[in-house]
Amino acid sequence: MPPRQDWPETLPFDRLLAEFSLWSADLGQLAGEIDRVDSAVDIYHIDVADGHFSPAMLFFPDLVSVCRKRTVKPLHVHLMVSDSILPDQIRQFADSGADLISVHAENSNLESVLQLIENLGLKAGLVLQLQTSVSAFVPCINQISMVTLLGTRIGVKGQSLDSQAGARLQAAKQLIANQNPPHRVLLAADGGIREETVPDLRKAGADTVVMGSLAFNSDDLEARIAWVHAQQGKS
């Protein structure tokens, strides 16, 4: 069963959200991994890459269907795919059980692509690469429920956080506030999420951080998530 249609409004406003990246799970035991961490998760993050837009090749609709059967938590599908296949990919992942589909600000025909996601009954998001102006999401603000800022190069695991990441989050947070959208728009930090970077990302304005090994490889997940929840935003 998927979450409620208004699920972004039901997530806590008063703490940092934990978005678990299934790229860092043991994919050979995906169902068991979801069962293991589910109580700690606010959102699942599912990276999808076609080997062209991004150098990696990641996740398939059938795997999202497995996730949907194991959890009622929101499934956020991040599409890193070329324009030529983007509409078909959106439809396939919608059919597989996604709750939110994010496309890249660097994709073409964003208005129609975001409208397609809405027509399929899902929430939409935009992802911005490091070289893309933070303001790129503003024309689409009323069509999206999440803005994700990448803090590392696209599609490569294990990189260090770029030095611009904090300032970009601060700028995005202010832009969202200035636009005053009619619904909640979450601001996510993705890439370079480590114990030493999370506090600063939260202070810079992140509502959610996309956690990979920081979550799945934790020796004490309960304590790790309590620490994430305790991170304070800018006062």
Residues classed as catalytic? 47, 190
Indicate the pairing of strand 57-58 with strand 75-80.
unpaired
Residue 165 structure tokens? 């990441």
Q: Phi, psi (5° rounding) for residue 151?
A: -105, 5
The answer to whether the CB of 22 falls within 8 A of the CB of 213 is: no
Residues 6+ apart with CB under 8 A from 61: 92, 93, 95, 96
- The candidate with the shortest Cα–Cα distance to 45, out of 159, 148, 196, is 148
- Give the dihedral of Cα atoms 144, 145, 147, 153; nearest 10 deg: -90
